[in-house]
A and B are shown apart, each in its own frame.
Chain A
Amino acid sequence: MAHQRPAFTAASPPLLHHPVPQHPIPHHTMRSPPPLSQTSSGSAYAASPYQQQPGVPMHNQGHGIHPAYGGFLADPAAQIGLQMGASAMRNSREYVKQNMNRYVNYTALKHYFNVSNSYVLNKLRLVIFPWRHRPWTRIPKAVVPGQTDGMFLPPRDDLNSPDMYIPVMAFVTYILLYTMLAGIRGHFHPELLGKLASTAFAIVVLEILGLKFGCYLLNINNESQLLDLVAYSGYKFVGIIATILIQELSSNGWLRFLGFFYFFSSNAFFLLRSLKYVLLPETSTDNPRGTVQAVARAQRNRRTQFLFIYSYVVQFVFMWILTTG
C-alpha cells in the first residue's frame, strides 16, 4: 500500500507539469512524505518517486519479515488457536480415557492378570487333569475380617479364580502353533494367521453371546460375570493345543481321537465345575419372599441342563471345529 501511493504521484507529475511549472515541486514534497514517513525511516531517498520504485519491495520485505516471525506467537489470534488446540488435545485424551474406562474396566482387567508362576502351573494342571480337585468354590475377598463386599480374591491367591493370562496366552499359542504346523507341512500363507485369529475370535464371541442369551432366558443375573465367561471360554485353547500336538505327533487314528476326547472331557468337566457358581448361585437370588419351592427346583433343573449342554455339547462342537481347522 505504501508503494502504491508514491507510484501514483510519480505518474501525476506530467499532468501537473503542464499548466504550471512552479507548483509541482512544493506539491510533490507536500504530498509524498506522509505515506513515506509511515512506512520507513529512510524517507530521504524515498522522496524521489523514481528511486523508490526498486527500493519498495526490499522495504516491504524487510518490514514484513519481522512481524511474520516475531509476531506469530505474540499474535492474539494465534494464541487463541494454540490454546484451543491444546485444550482440544487434552479434552480428547480425557474423553478417550473416560470411555476406555467405561467400556473396558481396567481395574477389573488387572484383577484377572494378577497371577503368579505357581498359580499358572497349578491351573494348567487343573485344566488338563480336573478329576481329583476338590473344593471348586472361590474364596471371597474379606475387606474387614468376617465381612465381604462381593469381590473375590485375585488368581494369585485363589486357584479357583478365573484368570485372563492363561486364556490369552493359549489363544496366541494356538494361532502360532497352527500356522507353524501348516508351515512345516508347507502350506504356510500369511493369510492363515489372520484367518485363524478371526475364526478363533469369532468362536469366542459366539460362545459368549450364546451364554449371555442363555443367561437372559434363564433369568440368571450375576454381576461382573462377563469377564469371567470370557476367561472360562478361553481355557479350552489349552486342551486344543494339546490335542493338536498329539494329532501332529501320532499317526494312529485311535490315539488321535482318544487325545481329543480326553482333553475335551477334561475341559468340559472343568467348565462344569467352575461355572457352577456363575450359573447356579447357591443363594436363591431371584426373590426370597414367596418363592415356591417347586418353581425354584424346576428353574434349577433347567439351569443345570443349560450348564451341561454348554459345557459338553457346545464345547464339543467348538473344540472339534478348532482342532480340525
Chain B
Amino acid sequence: MAMLFWFGNLFYVAVLLVNAVAVLSEDRFLARIGWAGQQDQGFGGGDVSIKAKLINLISAIRTLMRIPLIMVNVVIIVYELLLG
C-alpha cells in the first residue's frame, strides 16, 4: 500500500492527468459537449460557476502546457527506457 503513494508516482499521475487534459480535441469533443473555451470572457467574473472555471482551466492547460508537456514526456520516456 505504501508503494502506491510513492512520491514519483504522484508526479507520474499528475503528468498523465495533464496529458489527458491536453489531448482533448477542441473541435471534435469539447465543442460537441459545449465545453469549448469561450473567447468573450470579459472582465468582472464575479459569479463564475464551477463549469466556467473548469472550461477556463482546460483551455488554459491546452494552450499553456503543450510545449512543456512535450519536453516532460520526452524526459520521462527516456528515463523509463534507460532506467525503468
Contact = CB atoms under 8 A, between A and B. Distances in A.
Interface of A: 195-196, 198-199, 201-203, 205-206, 209, 216-219, 286-287, 291-292, 295, 299, 302, 321, 324-325
B1 A325 contact: yes
17 contacts: A195-B2, A195-B3, A199-B6, A199-B7, A202-B5, A206-B5, A206-B10, A216-B53, A217-B53, A217-B54, A219-B53, A287-B44, A287-B47, A292-B47, A299-B47, A321-B4, A325-B1
B41 to A, nearest CB: 14
B48 interface: yes
Q: Most chain-A Cβ atoms within 10 A of its Cβ — which of B3, B4, B14, B46?
A: B46
Contacts of A196: 2
B65 to A, nearest CB: 15
Given A202-B5, A218-B50, A286-B46, 18 more contacts: A195-B2, A196-B2, A198-B5, A198-B6, A199-B7, A202-B6, A205-B10, A206-B5, A216-B57, A217-B54, A219-B48, A219-B53, A286-B47, A287-B44, A287-B46, A291-B47, A299-B47, A325-B1
Contacts of A216: 53, 57
B35 to A, nearest CB: 15
Nearest to B45: A219
A302 B53 CA distance: 14
Nearest to B13: A206
Nearest to A178: B2
A302 to B, nearest CB: 7
Given A324-B1, A325-B2, A202 B7 contact: yes
B7 A321 contact: no
Contacts of A205: 10
Interface of A is mostly: helix
A321 B5 contact: yes
A281 B54 CA distance: 23
Given A205-B10, A216-B57, A217-B54, A199 B5 contact: yes
A288 to B, nearest CB: 10
A324 B4 CA distance: 13
Contacts of A195: 2-3, 6
Nearest to B9: A202
Contact of A202 (B10, B44, B46, B48): B10
Contact of A198 (B7, B44, B47, B57): B7
Nearest to B56: A216
A139 B50 CA distance: 32
Interface in B17-68: 44, 46-48, 50, 53-54, 57
Contacts of A206: 5, 10
A319 to B, nearest CB: 13
Interface centre among B5, B14, B50, B54 (most CB of A within 10 A): B5
A217 B47 contact: no
A217 B46 CA distance: 13
Contacts of B7: 198-199, 201-202
A310 to B, nearest CB: 15
B10 A217 contact: no
A325 to B, nearest CB: 6
Nearest to A302: B50
Nearest to B8: A198
A291 B57 CA distance: 24
B61 to A, nearest CB: 12
